Amino acid sequence: MQSIETILRSTKTIAVVGISDKPDRDSGRIAVFLRDRGYDVVGVHPILKEVFGIPVYKSLKDIPHSIDLVDVFMGSQKVGSITSDLLVIKPRFVWYQLGIRNDEEASKLEEDGIQVIQDHCIAVEYRHLIS
């Protein structure tokens, strides 16, 4: 199991599930934060096509390249709706944002070799460990 610092330093591509174009939503702000720090960031949203210059795809399976880390902004009870897609695209890491925890779904991913971080804000961790 890799440390959060190692994860942040080794990650190149990030998909933000639940990205929003509303300026008051953390998902869009954190996607921009990550992009501005050199990560290749894409969004996942069923309707949006682009958010603050970041390309957005309808689903994880629609992303045309591999993803290192999937950053999840959706309720704890809803994360199961993307588990099957995560098992198909096989990112190295799945990050459930602050306030999101689902041990059952995390176990399914970990059994398939995907490391899961739960209930942490990626931007806070980046500022603490990298900046």
DSSP lists the bridge partners of residue 54 as: 51
Handedness of CA 56, 60, 64, 67 (dihedral sign): positive
Q: How far apart are CA 53 and CA 56, in angstroms?
A: 9
- Does pTM top 0.95 for this prediction? yes
Long-range contact list for 42-45, CB < 8 A, 24+ apart?
A: 42/13, 42/14, 42/15, 42/16, 42/67, 43/15, 43/16, 43/17, 43/19, 44/15, 44/16, 44/17, 44/18, 44/19, 45/18, 45/19, 45/20
* 4-129 maps to CATH 3.50.50.60: no
Domain boundaries, the chain: 4-129
pLDDT at 17: 98
Averaged pLDDT, groups of 10, the chain, 131 residues long? 97 98 94 98 98 98 98 97 98 98 98 98 97 82
pLDDT at 62: 98
pLDDT at 131: 82
CB atoms within 10 A of CB 94: 25
